[in-house]
Amino acid sequence: GAVVSQHPSWVICKSGTSVKIECRSLDFQATTMFWYRQFPKQSLMLMATSNEGSKATYEQGVEKDKFLINHASLTLSTLTVTSAHPEDSSFYICSARDELAGAYEQYFGPGTRLTVT
């Protein structure tokens, strides 16, 4: 089945630094990937749509300069949290759809827990 991986699974960084999170589709290609964040005991909130070869599309209220998204290839999207602050601490989850297979569902990665100290 379609598998999406994320790296790292957990990262701790100091306030003011930047952190990069990778999302890979392991056995399929995806021109579009999605990034979500999940605060403790809350639902997944869609942050942005990552588009291969073009700019990401951000949801309302998400700072594009803070959350940089790069979709460099058909199997890799990265999310960089720039100048991280403690309030950015959250669980970040990506997803992708096996477009060639005509799948309707998104396959979700296992998530990356970011803690900013």
Partner 1 sequence: AQSVSQHNHHVILSEAASLELGCNYSYGGTVNLFWYVQYPGQHLQLLLKYFSGDPLVKGIKGFEAEFIKSKFSFNLRKPSVQWSDTAEYFCAVNARTGGFKTIFGAGTRLFVKA
Q: Which listed residue (5, 32, 80, 115) binds partner 1 by CB under 8 A?
A: 32
Min CB(44)–partner 1 separation in Å: 5
Strand partners, 77: 23
Q: Are 113 and 11 in contact (CB under 8 A)?
A: yes
Residue 80, token pair as written in the block? 């960089």
Residues 64-93 within binding reach of partner 1 (CB under 8 A):
93
Indicate the residue type of 106.
Q
User: Pseudo-torsion of CA 89, 111, 70, 88, nearest 10°?
Assistant: -10
- 43 belongs to the binding site for partner 1 (CB under 8 A): yes
Min CB(88)–partner 1 separation in Å: 20
* Neighbouring residues of 41: CB distance < 8 A, sequence distance ≥ 6: none
Residue whose CB is less far from partner 1, 17 or 42: 42
Q: What are the φ/ψ torsions at residue 86 (nearest 5 degrees)?
A: -55, -35
Q: Which listed residue (3, 12, 26, 46) binds partner 1 by CB under 8 A?
A: 46
> Using CB under 8 A, which of the segments 20-28, 45-53, 64-72, 78-86 binds partner 1?
45-53
- Contact residues toward partner 1 (CB under 8 A) are 32, 34, 36, 41-46, 49, 93, 95, 97, 104-106, 108-111
